Amino acid sequence: MRLNEGSPSGPRMQGLKIAAGSLAWLGAMALGGCIERPSEEMLTPPPRVARALAVLGEQSVQSSRRVAAQAQRESGRLVQRSARVTAPVLAQAIRHAEAQSSRAGARSIPAPMAETLAPYFDRKLIGSVRWTIGTGRVDLGTFLTEQYMDEGAVALNRQVVFSSERLTQNVWIWAHELAHVEQYQRKGINGFAAAYIRDWQAIEREATARANEVTAAIRKAG
């Protein structure tokens, strides 16, 4: 789902409005993954993800403040009520989508991938996470997937939905999504939704940094 182009604030505010709705229909038939010893390609974000992260990194504090100011002027009511109204709606949509994925036959993380990630994430967390393949393009109302990418994955609490089976072999993507699962554990679904509405960039940057640290450690370990 691509957003209409326009002012810098338009896509972002529209993204907040459609975040909950875009999650409601997520759910997929699960497909198995075959994970080999991580290659450099598996330890690197897919090209479209990397480009999205580059765009995110280029945004300065000044431009972020300008976007926030424009958003508040243009959609003041939404901004003011987001924590009280928008975040609970997003949280409810996350729960609904997680339940859909679970009913669709979600599977455990493949054993080779779980072993690769075990030194860097709690084993109980790894054991609790399930995954599926989406029937279409996956988005969480994240601006990375909605504005910049045609592929990716989304963490719905303890369910990870991938946009393609190929991406289930990517260690970086798994580390990024497990970092989101850690955020859910710390904040709870309601807290995660509220934090995402307030500052999605901070949430994504934290997960990106975690994924980069994990893959760097895997490279170093040889």
First to last CA, the chain: 39
Residue 185's pLDDT is 98
According to DSSP, the β-strands at 130-133 and 159-162 are parallel
The predicted-structure confidence for 20-31, as pLDDT tens digits, reads as follows 444 433 333 232
Work out the average pLDDT over 41-49.
Answer: 71
Number of H helices, E strands in the chain: 10, 4
Contact 132, 69 (CB under 8 A): no
- The answer, yes or no, to whether residue 53 has pLDDT greater than 50, is yes
Tokens 């009280």 locate to 84
Residue type, 104: A
Q: Encoding tokens for residue 206?
A: 């934290």
Contact 87, 81 (CB under 8 A): no
- The answer, yes or no, to whether residue 215 has pLDDT greater than 80, is yes
Q: What kind and span of H or E run contains 171?
A: helix 171-198
Contact 175, 117 (CB under 8 A): yes
Residue 51's pLDDT is 66
Q: Residue 83: pLDDT band by 50, 70, 90 thresholds?
A: low
